[in-house]
Amino acid sequence: MGNLRRKGNEATANDKNMQTHLELALEAMFRGIGFNKVDLYTSEAGEWKIMPNQRLLPPFSALQGVGINAAEAIVEARKAGPFTSIEDLSIRSRANKTVIEVLKKHGCLDQLTETDQLTLF
């Protein structure tokens, strides 16, 4: 967070958004509140949610590399039904390679196969 503060007026909108998420996370940790991982089907685009287990669920935009537009596109695309593969997610949400890699890195896509193609051998 110190790096973001030092940028001052040179901070981008993404930098400022990330700083807000980091400050919220730090405050929650000080208060003993835990966190769930970002979830493909329950996380919102930009809003934190309190889950039934009294833990916070971060939004997609809390992940560095996932902007609010990409996050909103994922939330909109999932309204059409579950994703059948990473390829399906990418096509329906128009998520770029960077967003897909960030989601993979954070375990959001663990339940999805790469493509819908079946392997016969």
pLDDT in tens, 3-59: 555 656 666 766 677 788 788 888 888 988 899 999 999 999 999 999 998 899 999
Residue 58 lies in a domain: yes
User: 47: domain CATH number?
Assistant: 1.10.150.870
Domain total for the chain?
1
Domain extent for 48:
34-105
- Alpha carbon of 36 to those of 32, 52, 57, 86: distances in Å? 13, 11, 5, 22
In a domain, 22, yes or no: no
> Does residue 80 form part of some domain?
yes
Nearest to 91 by CA among 68, 116, 108: 116
For the whole prediction, is pTM greater than 0.85? no
d(CA 18, CA 65): 10
Residue 15 lies in a domain: no
